[in-house]
Structures are given as structure tokens and as C-alpha cells.
Structure 1
């Protein structure tokens, strides 16, 4: 890997080197690097599930086409991208409190407001030769089923293909559950304190667009609230109010979005099961237990939604 990284960096500077590894969680590695004495961050694929080039193009789009603050992108390659160094993330240890939640909500609302009307449909961002491309679906439910199909091959290797199949079948049979969700915006997909930090003088800066998706704004809202606010026993209700207030100070949420909470719960849990086994952030002795808990929650929630629909 060191030889590969050295060859990658040599494309961009006559004198380059790795300073330290910042992150080693599949499917990527992230490094602080020097490019002719300029500090930068390299994110590079380290697993077949990696898509750093697409992420780099999303990050570049946010940096150049929106007012949501992110580090500038220096280069995007076939399996990597480079950004400027931002010291705010070096000592990031923020917890999810009301101040962070309000700032993060406002940053996310800005991203959504600035990208409203900019995309002709819903789908997965992809890397073009020099720009951002999109696998476009006119209907959000079709993009949802494509997203689930993206996760299924990996889930089948760890025993959870049935979860992906059940959720996809549900959305095929009940496409109306997304009625009223709203139009497409660029969604970050993983807003939490390691990825969105409060900078000096009240600013907020974000990184890491690994889970970016062109989707209704409410998708991003629930991708933040469900795992990082509602599911954390140490986070009180004031944090949720602060996040929503920050968000709605910039961009409105669609009417009825709260009624679709459980629909996003089952959709997002498909992705969370992949993260559980791919990134291995939970110790092995607890991984299967958590995976089975997620499986049970998906099937139980699907039954509850069907019962309400009948």
C-alpha cells in the first residue's frame, strides 16, 4: 500500500510523503500527506466497495457549487482524492449537544437549499471524467430500490440478503409510502461530529461524502436523527429540537415527513448492516448480536407499516 500511495502522490508534487495515517476503516484509508510542504488529506480506496473518485467529485461539487463550507478539493483520481488540510478536524472531539446539533442542522439545510432544483432526478452520484454524474431515476422509490440492490451483494456474503430482499419487495409493493417526500437535493448521508465540526467564529465545516445520495431532504434528516440522536440514550430531546431548528432556519422540511420515519428506518438499516460488517466498528463478539437485532427490527417495522396500510 505504501508504494501505491507514493506513486499516487508523485502525480501531484515533486516532493511528497505520508505524514501519518488518519483513518483505516474499510473501504478506505485516509492519510495526512505533504505535497511540496503543503499539508493535505488523501482518501484512497482499500476495498472493492470503495468509491473514492465518486466521493471526491461530490465533495468538489459542494466546494464549488454551494455555500456549505467544506475543504477545497485539490485533485480527484480514479481511486482517490485529495483535499486541503483543515485543522478544525485535527482535534475534533465534539459531542452531540444542542450547540453542535443546531450548527449541523444549519449546515445540512444550507446544502439542501443550495442544491434544490439542481438535479433532474434521484440516484447515486458517480464520477465522470472531470465532473459529477448521476444515475438518474424520475421516481424516488426507484432510486431507493437501486440503493438496496447496491448493498445486497455484500449483505449476501454475511447472511443478510433476506433483509435487502424484503425491504426492496416492500418498496416495490408500496411505492406510495414516499408520496410527499419532495424533490431531489444533494444529501450528505452521514452527519455526525467526526464529519461536521464547528469551526472558529461560529462557522461549520463538513467532510466525508462516502454516503452521499441525491434524494429528498427528509432522507438526510432521518439519516442523522435516527442513528445519532434518537438512538443515543445520552442525548436528550433538546438536541433533536436544536437540530431541527437549525435545519429549518435555512430550509423547510416537507409536510408529513415525520409520518415517514419508519420507512426511512428500514431503508437506512440495510446500509447500517453493511457498515456493521464491512467497517467492523463493533467488536466481533457483539457484531452478530447487533446484526440480528437489526434484522428483527426491519421485519418487525415492515409488519407494523403494512398493518397501518391495511
Structure 2
């Protein structure tokens, strides 16, 4: 992989070097590098599920078209992108506190507010070679079904096609469950302390747009609150309140977003099942146990949401 990184760097600098590997979590590798005399970060695909070029275009869009703080993008390639080094990210805290949550809520709401009215449709942001494009869907439900199908392609080989099929079937049978979600905005998709660092009392800077979608604002909200607040043994309700207060200080969440929480739980569990096997952060002997627990949670949530739509 070092040879691949050196070849990438050679495209942009005659005097470059790899300082260290920062992350090796499929489907990417991330390196701290030096381009001439400038410190930078390279994120490169290391698996067929990687899409660093798409992520790079999203990051570039946020950097140039919004006031939500992110590192400057130096370049976007076919299988990689490079950003400027920021010390605040290297010093990122790992604990979720009310102060961090409040600032994170402000950052997320700023991204949503700055992109409200920009997109007419929902879907996956893509790199078109020079700028940001969108795999567009007229409704959020259609975009959700497409996303579930994307996860199914990977999960089928791991024995979880039935989970994706059940969730996809529910949304195909209930196309109007998201009728009142509000307008599409650009969503980060994975806000937590490793991806969003404090820069001041209320300021933050974000990285890693791997899970970015043009989606309802509440999608981003629940992608943060569910896994990192509600499922955590170390986080209490003051954190969720601080996050919501921070968000609300910039813009309101749509009416009914709390009632739609189980629907987002379905979407999230399917995505997290893929991450469980793809990212390999859990020991092999534990993955099946956790995967079956997730399958059970999906089944329970499907029973819950069917009662509300029948």
C-alpha cells in the first residue's frame, strides 16, 4: 500500500513522503503525508466497497459551498482524495460530553441550513469527474429502498440477505411513510468525536463523509443519536438534550421526527450490519453473535412499525 500512496503523491508533488498510517479500516486506508513542505492527509480505497472519490467531492463541496467547517481539499483523484492537515482533528477527544454534543448539533444544523433549498431530490452524492453529482430519487422512500438494496449486495454473502429483504419489502409496501420528512439537505451521516472535533466553545471541524447522503435532516440526527447516544452505556440524556439544543439554536427539526424514529432504526440496523462485517472492528468470533442480535432488533422494530401503518 505504501507504493500505491507514493504513486498517488507523485502526481501532485516532486518532493513528497509518507509520514505514517493513520487508519486501516476497510474499505479505506488513511495516511499522514507531506507534499513538498505541506502536511496533508490522503484517504484511499482499499476494498471494492470504497468510494473515496465520491467522498472527496462531498468534502470539497462542504468546504467551498457551506460555512460548516472542514479541512481544505487539495485534490480529488479516481480512488483517493487529499486534504490539508488540521491539528484540531489530530487532538480530537474520544469522549462524548454535553459540550461536544451541543457544538456538534450546531455544526450539523449549519450544514443542513446551508444546503436547504440546494437539492430538489434525495440520493447518493457522486463524483462526476470534476464536481458533485447526485444519484437522484424524487422521494426519500425511493432513496431508502435503493440504499437498502446497496447494503443487500454485500450482506447476501454474509448470510443476512433476509434482513435487507424484510426491510426493503416494508418500505416498498409503505411508500408514503416519509411523506412529511421535509426538504432534502446534505447529511454527513456519521457524526461522532472521531469525525468531528472542537475548535472553540461552539465551533467544530469535521472529516469523513463516507456515509454522506442528500436526505432529510432527521436522517442525520438519528444517525448520530441512535448509535452514539441511545446505545451507549456511558452517555446520558443530558447529551441528547445538549445535541438537540445545539441543533435547534440554528434551525428546527421537522414536526413528527420523533415518531419516525423506528423507521430510521430499520435503516440504521441494515447499514450497521454491513459495517460489522466490512470494517472488521469486532473479533471474528463475536461478529455472528452481534449480527444475530441486530437481526432480532430489526424483526422487533418491523413488528413495531407495522402496527403504526396498518
Structure 2 counterpart of 1:7: 7
Does residue 43 (structure 1) correspond to residue 53 (structure 2)? The answer is no
Structure 2 counterpart of 1:97: 97
Does residue 249 (structure 1) correspond to residue 249 (structure 2)? The answer is yes
Query: Aligned Cα RMSD in Å?
Result: 0.9
**CA displacement at 1:309 relative to structure 2:** 2.3
**CA displacement at 1:94 relative to structure 2:** 3.5
**CA displacement at 1:199 relative to structure 2:** 1.2
Structure 2 counterpart of 1:155: 155
Separation of aligned partners in 2, 1:201 and 1:225: 21
Q: Which runs of 5+ in 1 are unaligned?
A: none
Taking the TM superposition and a 5 Å limit, the aligned residue runs for 1:192-231 are: 192-200=192-200, 202-231=202-231
Structure 2 counterpart of 1:237: 237
Does residue 81 (structure 1) correspond to residue 91 (structure 2)? The answer is no
Separation of aligned partners in 2, 1:305 and 1:51: 32
* Greater Cα offset, 85-94 or 110-119: 85-94
**CA displacement at 1:259 relative to structure 2:** 0.2
Separation of aligned partners in 2, 1:302 and 1:94: 33
Structure 1 counterpart of 2:60: 60
Taking the TM superposition and a 5 Å limit, the aligned residue runs for 1:125-136 are: 125-136=125-136
Structure 1 counterpart of 2:118: 118
Separation of aligned partners in 1, 2:236 and 2:203: 24
Q: Which secondary structure does the structure 1 equivalent of 2:21 belong to?
A: strand
**CA displacement at 1:305 relative to structure 2:** 1.1
Stretches of 4+ aligned residues off by more than 6 angstroms = none
Separation of aligned partners in 1, 2:245 and 2:202: 16
Q: Structure 1 residues 129 and 98, CA, compared in 2 at 3 Å: closer, same or farther? A: same
Q: Which runs of 5+ in 2 are unaligned?
A: none
Separation of aligned partners in 1, 2:23 and 2:212: 19
**CA displacement at 1:233 relative to structure 2:** 1.7
TM-score by length of 2: 0.98
* Greater Cα offset, 299-308 or 20-29: 299-308
Separation of aligned partners in 2, 1:153 and 1:143: 16
**CA displacement at 1:26 relative to structure 2:** 0.1
TM-score by length of 1: 0.98
* Greater Cα offset, 163-172 or 92-101: 92-101
Does structure 1 retain, via aligned residues, the 8 Å contact 2:31–2:42? Answer: yes
Write the deviation string for residues 29-69 of structure 1: whole angstroms up to 9, x where unpaired. 00000000210000000000000000000000000000000
Separation of aligned partners in 1, 2:135 and 2:82: 24
**CA displacement at 1:201 relative to structure 2:** 5.6
Write the deviation string for residues 133-161 of structure 1: whole angstroms up to 9, x where unpaired. 00111111000011111111110111111
**CA displacement at 1:214 relative to structure 2:** 0.3
**CA displacement at 1:178 relative to structure 2:** 1.0
Does structure 2 retain, via aligned residues, the 8 Å contact 1:94–1:100? Answer: no
Does structure 2 retain, via aligned residues, the 8 Å contact 1:181–1:218? Answer: yes
Structure 2 counterpart of 1:140: 140
